[in-house]
Amino acid sequence: MPGFQDRLPEEEVDRLLAYLRTLEGPPTFHRTPSPPDPAAVARGRALFRERCESCHLDGGRKPGVGLGFEPPAPVLADEVRRHTPAFIARQIREGGGQMPAIGGDLTDAQVADLIAYLSALALESGGRR
């Protein structure tokens, strides 16, 4: 990595490269999620209110401003369009950036329900904030 060899110890460069290799490729913008099962959306909405809404305002429809995040927590309806369900599931389970890992104790079905709810938001909003 030109430019970093003199600034970061080799061990840090290796850790950075290992992390970068775990990232998904470039985001797929304007991905249209498939219409989710209404029962899964309802379960996901309830779980979202319990686990996510303290940071992601208005059910994930608005950025999380006023919570001390810089930059604000993202509009989740937009994020579902940018990333695959696998990426969103990993973000829920493991966190990343400012987001803490919140899904370590969630079942696969619960994570799928959260993704169904977020997909419904994306379809409902049409990408508008």
Domains of the chain, with CATH numbers? 29-125 (1.10.760.10)
Question: pLDDT at residue 111 above 60?
Answer: yes
Q: Which residues in 74-90 are b (16+ Cβ under 10 Å) and which e?
A: bbbbbbbbbbebebbbb
The CB density around residue 94, as the number of other CB atoms within 10 Å, is 14
Q: Check whether the bond before 85 is cis (ω within 30° of 0).
A: no
Model confidence pLDDT, tens digit, residues 39-52: 999 999 999 988 88
In this prediction, residue 87 has a pLDDT band, given cuts at 50, 70 and 90, of confident
Residue 36 region by backbone torsions, left for phi larger than 0, else alpha for psi between -120 and 50, else beta: beta
Is the pTM higher than 0.75?
A: no
Identify the three-state secondary structure at position 64: strand
